[in-house]
Amino acid sequence: SKNKYSTAPKTLSTVSIKNKEYQTDEYTNVTPKILSYLGRNLHVQKDNPLSLVRQRIVNYFYSSFTHRGNPMFSVYDNLSPIVTTQQNFDDLLIPADHPSRAKCDCYYVNKEMLLRAHMTAHQSELLRAGLDNFLMIGDVYRRDEIDSTHFPVFHQVDAVRSQHKDELFANQPNLHIFEPHFDPNNPKNYINSISDPMKQSCHTLEASKLMEAKLKNDLMGLVQELFGKNIKHRWVDAYFPFTHPSWELEIYYENDWLEVLGCGIVRNEILVNAGPNKTIAYAFGLGLERLAMALYKIPDIRLMWSDDSGFVSQFQNKDVNAKITYKAVSQYPQCKNDISFWLPENITVETFMNNDFYDLVRDIGGDIIEQVKLKDKFIHPKTKKHSLCYNIVYRHLERTLTQEEVNKIHKEIEKATVDAFNVVIR
């Protein structure tokens, strides 16, 4: 152990993450606070704005690319965020001395393992498994400042789309993916140059340009699906070690250009290393927070983590395509009140229409209803009568509600519930 020659007291030499022990070393810089975000998985929490955006992106790829009626893309949103430096860097041709590996930018578990800094960390393993079209969605970790647009944990959607010659040039059988001087059956000794800004040396100009057009077209389709046909955008030349050529897409939002994604043509070495390859592929990685903040006008990235009912309820039980504009949560205090009732004989706790009840509460309470939540289902052991209990949170945006006025509205809701659903208040 590293304390062998030290007289200093032995310090903790392992760190426990999700019930697994990892050896620590001079690289270890994960903190208990950061580790507490693992497993929160906001991107799959039903009512989180990040999850709404994720679903819209997945729907777009499922419906835009089908083969004999089946989606061509497969989705991976449950990959472990603890990855090797091989996955996060080496597999992606990121040089050993590249600044993105620095301890001050990443959360290392130890010298060999880190919390993934981008979803691209999973690209090679999925290519190696034989996949050609796929999305990778999850939480990523970077050491960064905390302000309204930066948080050390955020979420990315990454994708790869690959094409064989027959798909890419279905109507032009004379065209090729690779230049004659590159032999895809014997790729290992070939030095693939990226000195030409238009393409990698192994690719033909036609193949690279057609794939670039597909990439930009597919991504513009996505951005227009989210923000509407008139969204102002621009493509900016970029550099990533794992793609060439590379671009970033920016959208014009609130009087400023906002970078929403990075993308490019996958470096052929990566495809070769992942196994036999005769395809050309594009890849991209986008930030879910940036899109959600712009789409719903959420002013602060930290709100994504909020469980304040005033925030959560604005995204609850919503159609994924609903137009939602976030309203600042009131600083004024909440009032909570329960409503419990016995259901009529022909209705059970399972068949009662929750959503009808929610609408009724909002119809009567209006904007001061912050949240309505099912709290308890109960079946009386003797009478077998069914009963439900809901908690209603009241909050005014501009002033403090008095208990008296809340009680009055609550009584009205009780009365309307009795009338509408033939229930008996408990």
**Nearest residue by C-beta to ligand FA5?**
287
Does 285 sit near ligand FA5 (CB under 6 A)? Answer: yes
Separation between Cα atoms, residue 136 and residue 152, nearest integer Å? 19
Does 154 sit near ligand FA5 (CB under 6 A)? Answer: yes
Stretch that binds ligand FA5, among 5-13, 153-161, 228-236, 363-371 (CB under 6 A): 153-161
Q: How far is the CB of 301 from ligand FA5 (least distance, A)?
A: 7
Does 293 sit near ligand FA5 (CB under 6 A)? Answer: no
According to CB under 6 A, which residues from 337 to 376 bind ligand FA5? none
SS3 243: strand
Residue closer to ligand FA5 by CB (options 187, 287) is 287
Separation between Cα atoms, residue 210 and residue 165, nearest integer Å? 11
SS3 232: coil
Q: Which residues contact 197 (CB under 8 A, 6 or more apart)?
A: 237, 245
Q: Which residues contact 105 (CB under 8 A, 6 or more apart)?
A: 99, 117, 142, 143
Does 244 sit near ligand FA5 (CB under 6 A)? Answer: no
Among 77, 112, 206, 259, the residue binding ligand FA5 under the rule CB under 6 A is: 259
Q: State the greatest distance between any 2 C-alpha atoms of the chain, in Å, as a whole number.
A: 84
Q: How far is the CB of 194 from ligand FA5 (least distance, A)?
A: 14
Does 300 sit near ligand FA5 (CB under 6 A)? Answer: no
Does 263 sit near ligand FA5 (CB under 6 A)? Answer: yes
Among 50, 52, 261, 312, the residue binding ligand FA5 under the rule CB under 6 A is: 261
Residue closer to ligand FA5 by CB (options 102, 425) is 102
Residue closer to ligand FA5 by CB (options 112, 259) is 259
Does 120 sit near ligand FA5 (CB under 6 A)? Answer: yes
Residue bearing tokens 């959503």: 355
Does 98 sit near ligand FA5 (CB under 6 A)? Answer: no
Among 49, 287, 310, 365, the residue binding ligand FA5 under the rule CB under 6 A is: 287
Give the count of beta carbons closer than 10 Å to the beta carbon of residue 175.
13
Q: Please tell me the total number of residues recorded for the chain in this structure.
A: 426
Q: Using an 8 Å Cβ cutoff, are 387 and 380 in contact?
A: yes
Among 43, 54, 101, 118, the residue binding ligand FA5 under the rule CB under 6 A is: 118
Give the binding site for ligand FA5 (CB under 6 A). Answer: 118, 120, 142, 144, 150, 154, 156, 158, 240, 243, 259-264, 283-287, 289-290
